[in-house]
Chains A and B, each alone.
Chain A
Amino acid sequence: MSGLAHFFEKEGLATIIVALVREHVEQMRPPRSLWVPFELGRPFGEPGNATQHSRVLLGALTLLDGSGPGPILKDFNDEKSMTDTADNWQFPITLESDSVKSELRSLIPVWKKARRRHGRSTVGISGLSPEQAIEFIDRYHSAKPAPNPKGMSVVARARFAIDDIKALYLEAATAVGNPTSNQLQNWLWQQTIAGAMILKFQEKARTSENKNLQLIAGSLVPAERVISRC
C-alpha cells in the first residue's frame, strides 16, 4: 500500500492511506496515513456501521488538508462499537451431518436468508455453483475427479472453489445476529464437515508433489487454524 502511495505521488496524485498495520507505515513512511485500530480485513470498521465508515473516510480526507512535507501519520480515534455481539453465539440451525453434501443442502436455506439480509452474496469467484464447488473439492483426490470447466486451471479452480465454500458458510452464519469474526472462524473450522474437508485438502496440497498445489496450500486455511487442528 505504501509502495502504491509512493508511485502515485511521484506521478503527481495525492494519496492518503487508511492503514491497518501501523508498523508498516512507520517503516515505509508514505506521505499521509490514518492508522485505524480495527482488525485486519476491516479498514473502515464494522459491517453495517455507516457512521463509522464515514468518520474514517472523512478523517482520512481531512488529513489531506495539512501541508507537507510528509510523512504525516495520525491515529483514528475510535468510538465504542455499535454492534451487539453475542458471547454465546451459535449457528441458527442444526445442520445435517451425514455428509458434506447433506450439510450443504441444509445450509443453503440459511445462506439464502443471509443473502436477503445483506442484499448480496460474495460467492461465485470459482464460476461453480455451491453444489459444484463442494463436489469439486470432495472428489479432487479421488479416482474420478469432478470435471473442470474451461477458463481456469484445475488448481486455481480448487483454490477458488474453496474460497466460495468458505464464503458460503460464513455468509450463512451471519443470517441472524452479529457473531464476531473469531466466533465465525471457530464454527467453520471446528464444527462443520466442510471445514474438515478443506483442512484435509490443505494438508494433501501441502504435502503434494504437485508444485502448483503446494503453492496454494497456504491460501486455503488461516495459519492458526491449521495449527489448532494439529
Chain B
Amino acid sequence: MVKLVDVPEPERTVIAGLDCPTYGDTPFSNVPPMHERHVAIVSTAGLIVRGDRPLLARDVGYRAIPSTVDDGDILCSHVSTNFDRSGFQQDLNVIFPRQRLAELESTGKIGKAADTHYSFMGATNPDALEVKARELAGSMLALGVNTVVLAPV
C-alpha cells in the first residue's frame, strides 16, 4: 500500500470521503533540541487499558496509558474495520512504540519518554475533539512534555 489510490475499494471511497476540515493557519510551536525533548505518544487507535470502558464511535474523550501498564493490558477499541489489526496483535510497537521511545531515552537521543501516553478514537470529526485536545495539551505541558508524536491507524 502506498497512496490512497492503492487502497482497495470500498475503503478507498470511505477514506477519501472522511471529513477533513481545513484551518486558516498552521500553528508551529518551537521545540528544544532532540536531547532535551520530553516526548509523549498520542494514538488515535482507541487504545484503552484492560478493564476501562472502551471508547465508542464518535467518542470525543481520550484515555491515559501510564508506562506502568503492561503491554498485555493495552486493548484496541477503534470502531473501524478498515485497517489491519494483526500487526498490533503481534507487536504493540507497530502502532504504539512506547518501548522504542524508552530506548531513545535510555541511549540519550531524547531527554525523556513521557510517563503517560494517550489515545483518542479516530474516525471522529476533528473539530469535535477540540475541547478535549486543548485540555490534554494543557495537562501534558504541565507535566513537562514538549513534543508529541501523533500516531494514526
Q: What is the bound-complex CA distance between A185 and B130, given in angstroms?
A: 35
Interface stretch, picked from A87-95, A99-107, A141-149, A218-226, is A218-226
- B144–chain A nearest beta-carbon distance, Å: 11
> Bound state CA distance, A71 and B14, in angstroms?
25
User: Are B104 and A8 touching (Cβ within 8 A)?
Assistant: no
Among B85, B110, B127, B147, the one with the most A-chain Cβ atoms within 10 Å of its Cβ is B85
A16 at the interface (CB under 8 A from B): yes
Write the chain A residue with the least CB distance to B123: A219
Q: Mark A204-228, 1 if CB is under 8 A from B, else 0.
A: 0000000000010011111110010
Query: B57 to A4, Cβ gap below 8 A?
Result: no
Which residues of B sit under 8 angstroms from A170, Cβ to Cβ? 85-86, 89
Given known contacts A3-B21, A222-B82, A223-B10, A70 and B72 CB-to-CB distance under 8 angstroms: no
**B-side contacts of A6, CB under 8 Å:** 23, 26-27, 126
Point out the residues of chain A lying under 8 angstroms from B4, CB to CB: 21-23
A: contact size bracket: 35 or more
A-B contact count (CB 8 A): 266
Q: Which residues of B contact A174 (CB under 8 A)?
A: 86, 89-90
Partner of B84 from the list A3, A41, A118, A125 (CB cut-off 8 Å) is A41
Minimum CB–CB distance from B124 to chain A (whole Å) comes to 9
| Contact present for A70 and B137 (CB under 8 Å) | no
Q: Are A15 and B148 closer than 8 Å at their CB atoms?
A: yes
* CB atoms of A7 and B146 under 8 A apart: no
Number of interface residues of B (CB under 8 A): 88
Contacts of A223 in B (CB 8 A): 10-11, 14, 81-82
Please, which residue of chain A has its CB at the minimum distance from the CB of B58? Answer: A215
Other-chain residue from A15, A23, A171 in contact with B89 (beta carbon distance below 8 A):
A171
What CA separation (Å) do A57 and B48 show in the bound complex? 22
Question: How many whole Å from A215's CB to the nearest CB in chain B?
Answer: 7
Residue-wise interface mask of B (65-89) relative to A, using a CB-CB cutoff of 8 A (1 in contact, 0 not): 0000011101111011111111111
Q: List 27 A-B contacts (CB under 8 A).
A: A1-B152, A2-B126, A3-B129, A10-B137, A13-B141, A15-B147, A15-B150, A16-B148, A19-B152, A20-B153, A27-B22, A29-B23, A31-B26, A40-B83, A41-B153, A48-B91, A50-B99, A57-B101, A57-B149, A65-B34, A122-B88, A122-B89, A219-B81, A223-B14, A224-B9, A224-B10, A224-B11
Hey, which bits of chain B sit against chain A, CB under 8 A?
A: 1-4, 7-11, 14-16, 18, 20-23, 26-31, 33-34, 37, 39, 42, 44, 48, 50, 54, 56-57, 70-72, 74-77, 79-95, 97, 99-101, 103-104, 109-110, 120, 122, 126-127, 129-130, 133-134, 136-138, 140-141, 145-153
